């Protein structure tokens, strides 16, 4: 079953830790991880490696005053990918808010680690305006 | 590992689409489907309701002489969600070709019909140029 695939459970546990403030993801993310942020806004781009990923997490947390909350609804995995369906809520200092549906995708290597990540917003325009 | 029934349903739906059986394909969608098409091309936008959606599919088929194919690379699913990574290929009459990896998100109603869809192309500029 997709929802009980070991890759889904591993990524779910890793992201739970991230959401609770830990940036220690060595058991789930490969050192050569590429984290892709899609869109037309200042955070968009490809982040290579765990240091770049950690810096992005800190920037995102600062920009949202700690209100960045991905709320997973389902974790689905196969040998090759893990999909997380989630609702994202966050708020900027100037009052801009976001409340959108996303699917986040991790490409899994044969080593059982995530090597690539991309996030698919159901509403890219709202996403772009929020981070602008 | 047991496969969730919705993985098979998604595979059946894509097969119906690929063989051009839009009547069979239509059975997979809720009347109130909302289908988001990303991009800056003329087909981009939100299609609301199954009639609007199949008008769009009809125009897409016409524009590609029925050559559009969606080949799933990976499908994950539970009762409410499916994630698909697919290779999408097609050809316009003027010779323009599309060959792009897509990430697709589906959500299901209680009866298993698709209520919402959104997606991301690995190369959006190729998609925009193909449908322009």
Partner residue facing A105 (CB), from B80, B82, B83 = B83
CB–CB of A83 and B7 under 8 A? no
Place of tokens 């949202």: A64
In chain B, the residue whose alpha carbon lies closest to the alpha carbon of A83 is B83
B5-131, CATH topology level: Nuclear Transport Factor 2; Chain: A, (3.10.450)
SS (H, E, C) A77-119: ECCCEEEEEEEEEEECCCCCEEEEEEEEEEEECCCCCEEEEEE
pLDDT tens digits, A15-72: 999 988 889 888 999 999 999 999 999 999 999 999 999 999 999 999 999 899 999 9
Q: Determine the distance in angstroms separating the CA of A78 from the nearest CA of chain B, rounded to an integer.
A: 7
d(CA B35, CA B51): 11
Domain borders along chain B are 5-131
ipTM of the complex, rounded to two decimals: 0.92
Which residues between 112 and 131 in chain B have a beta carbon less than 8 angstroms from any beta carbon of chain A?
Answer: 116, 118-120
pTM strictly above 0.80? yes
pLDDT tens digits, B17-32: 999 999 999 999 999 9
Q: Which CATH architecture has domain A2-18+28-131?
A: Roll (3.10)
pLDDT band at A3 (very low <50, low <70, confident <90, very high): confident
CB A53 within 8 A of CB A29: yes
């Amino acid at each position: 079953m997709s929802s009980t695939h070991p890759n889904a459970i591993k990524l779910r546990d890793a992201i739970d830790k991230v959401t609770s403030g830990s940036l220690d993801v060595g058991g789930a993310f490969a050192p050569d991880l590429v984290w892709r942020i899609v869109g037309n806004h200042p955070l968009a781009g490809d982040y290579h490696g765990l240091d770049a990923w950690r810096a992005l997490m800190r920037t995102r947390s600062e920009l949202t005053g700690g209100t960045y909350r991905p709320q997973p609804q389902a974790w689905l995995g196969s040998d090759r990918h893990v999909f997380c369906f989630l609702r994202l809520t966050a708020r900027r200092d100037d009052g801009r808010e976001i409340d959108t549906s996303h699917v986040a995708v991790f490409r899994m290597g044969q080593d059982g680690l995530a090597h690539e990540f991309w996030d698919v917003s159901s509403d890219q325009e709202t996403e772009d305006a929020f981070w602008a | 590992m047991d496969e969730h029934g919705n993985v098979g349903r998604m595979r059946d739906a894509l097969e119906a689409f690929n063989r051009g059986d839009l009547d069979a394909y239509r059975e997979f969608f809720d009347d109130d489907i909302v289908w988001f098409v990303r991009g800056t091309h003329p087909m981009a936008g939100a299609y609301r309701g199954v009639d609007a959606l199949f008008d769009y599919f009809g125009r897409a088929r016409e524009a590609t002489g029925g050559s559009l194919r969606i080949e799933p690379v990976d499908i994950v699913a539970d009762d409410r969600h499916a994630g698909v990574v697919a290779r999408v290929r097609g050809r316009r009459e003027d010779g323009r070709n599309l060959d792009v990896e897509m990430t697709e998100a589906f959500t299901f109603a209680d009866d298993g019909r698709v209520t919402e869809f959104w997606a991301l192309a690995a190369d959006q500029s190729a998609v925009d140029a193909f449908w322009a």
